[in-house]
Amino acid sequence: MSATHTFLNRLEERITHLRESSTEPEPSWIAARRQAGTARFEALGFPTKRDEAWKYTDVRRISEGDFALAQNADFSKTTAATLGLPLEAIRLSFVDGVFSSDLSDMTDLPQGLGVEPLSQALKTNHESVGGSLGRLSGVEFSPFAALNTAFTDEGAVIRIGPGVVVEKPIVIQFFSRANAQPVMSHPRVLIEAGARSQATVIEHYVGEEEAANFTNVAGEALLERGAILEHYILQEAPLGDLHIGSLHIAQDRDSRFTSFNINLGGALVRNDLVADLNGEGAEANYYGLFFAQDRQHVDNHTLVNHNAPHTFSNENYKGILDDRARGVFNGKVIVKRDSQKIEAHQSNANLLLSDRAEIDTKPELEIYADDVKCSHGATTGQLDEEAVFALRTRGIDEQTARGLLTLAFAGEVMDKVTLEPVAERVERAVAGKLPERFNLSDLVDVATADQA
């Protein structure tokens, strides 16, 4: 377990730094959590391919790396503006894991909404986050979650009061810089959605092209009665970045959670989504799209726990893999005993564009109740040659035909995306990355001209 040492040394360095920079002693609950996280991480070590949950994902690029900790949040405003989403939004920004107030925009928050960096929340009123932080994403989940818990220093805290409807999306921006020595960050995301509240939260990962940092994020979302939360993960990290992320969701009665998990960037990306449907009428929707090329590796693990009767889940993941990219999908639905009248559907479709791309998919069902309607499906294949031909007969060149059909394949998921600018950005990005690159913008212009 020598690989863990470099990480533990950095951790110690970080904790010493935190203690020295603060006049007050650290709250005891944080110290306890750090200890638990460290112990757990030490005990587990980094996962290997012998662990079922990591069977297809090799994390040696992380474990064998030497990642420093970022010392500041210096980042050009113009670059941030070009990289960021073109949305009118509430913004919370982190540069290599360090909070940047310059790049954040938290003015004009509606009544009942709290958005702040974790460091600030811990400083001003640590007890307010003590109850919920780490309640869902404990140290037991994975070595990475344990490591994240050991760090517990920065992140985003979003609290939506009961009945509050937040019109503007809340964007959490994670910028990755091209550092001389790669750095790592262990941010946490905590979302507390009060009863009947409504909000959209976007985790946006993006950065400078040459960056090669390691981000290990642990997220938690607590949805109270009737809360509606839309959650985006827009992964546009630089192609050298390593990313491990998890999001745990607890849902009370009649709440609705929708996840859009879009993966375009990163060298190695692993996402875990875990939703606990604890109250009747709770509903979870997972929509995912991953596009990988070169030697990118994207691993998506999702889990839905139907802990209460009359709960619903729906999942649709689409994967497009090119070159020597590798995709992993593992979707699991567990229906607990006595959770009757459940509906759970799951689907994963993959498109392989190259002979050297690989997809490993495993849609699982574990069902202990009988009055359920559950289904899952997984398909892998290539573009329908007849469809390509049909477009060709209509005068569309082959390149464009293949590009359009690939986009149409992703369309089933992209159509669900509620934020138009995000959907457009993703579609354009995919179109621009396809092996048969074609200019979507031109096509859009032609179509608009035709309509006019």
- Chain residues binding other proteins by CB under 8 A are 52, 56, 337-338, 340, 350, 352-382
The least CB distance from residue 193 to other proteins, in Å, is 31
Q: Are 228 and 200 in contact (CB under 8 A)?
A: no
State which residue, 207 or 403, has the beta carbon closest to other proteins. 403
- Alpha carbon separation from 206 to 83, 95, 264, 268, 404 (Å, rounded): 7, 10, 10, 14, 26
Q: Which is nearer to other proteins, 349 or 440 (CB)?
A: 349
Q: Nearest approach, Cβ of 308 to other proteins (angstroms)? A: 15
Q: How far apart are CA 365 and CA 276, in angstroms?
A: 15
Contacts of residue 328, Cβ cutoff 8 Å, sequence gap at least 6: 56, 57, 297, 298, 299, 300, 301, 359, 360, 361
Residue with Cβ nearer other proteins (228 or 328): 328
- Smallest distance, Å, CB 366 to other proteins? 4
With respect to other proteins, which residue has the nearer C-beta, 75 or 317?
317
Q: What is the DSSP letter of 83?
A: H
**Least CB distance from residue 405 to other proteins, whole Å?**
14
Give the span between the Cα atoms of 36 and 118, in whole angstroms: 19
Q: Which residues of 360-393 are buried (b: 16+ CB within 10 A; e: fewer)?
A: ebbbeeebebeebebebebebeebeeeeeeebee
CB closer to other proteins, 159 vs 306: 306
The CA-atom distances, in angstroms, between 354 and each of 51, 130, 292, 349, 351 are 28, 49, 11, 16, 9
Least Å from the CB of residue 181 to other proteins: 35
* Cα 210-216-116 angle, rounded to 5 deg: 100
Of 42 and 51, nearer to other proteins (C-beta) is: 51
Residues 391, 73: Cα–Cα separation, whole Å: 50
HSE-up (13 A, CA, CB side) for residue 39: 8
Between 198 and 340, whose beta carbon lies closer to other proteins?
Answer: 340
97 contacts 215 by C-beta, under 8 angstroms: yes
Q: Closest distance between other proteins and the C-beta of residue 386, in Å?
A: 14
* Tokens representing residue 49 in the block: 């391919």
Read off the amino acid at residue 435.
P
Query: Residue 60's CB: how many other CB atoms inside 10 A?
Result: 12
Q: How far is the CB of 310 from other proteins (least distance, A)?
A: 15
Comparison of 178 and 374: residue with beta carbon closer to other proteins = 374
Nearest to other proteins of 337, 394 (CB atom): 337
Q: Could you give the C-alpha distances from 149 to 33, 304, 360, in angstroms and in order?
A: 7, 23, 30
Centre a 10 Å sphere on the Cβ of residue 136 and count the other Cβ atoms it contains. 21
Q: Please, what is the minimum distance in Å from the beta carbon of residue 162 to other proteins?
A: 36
Shortest spacing between CB 198 and other proteins, in angstroms: 33
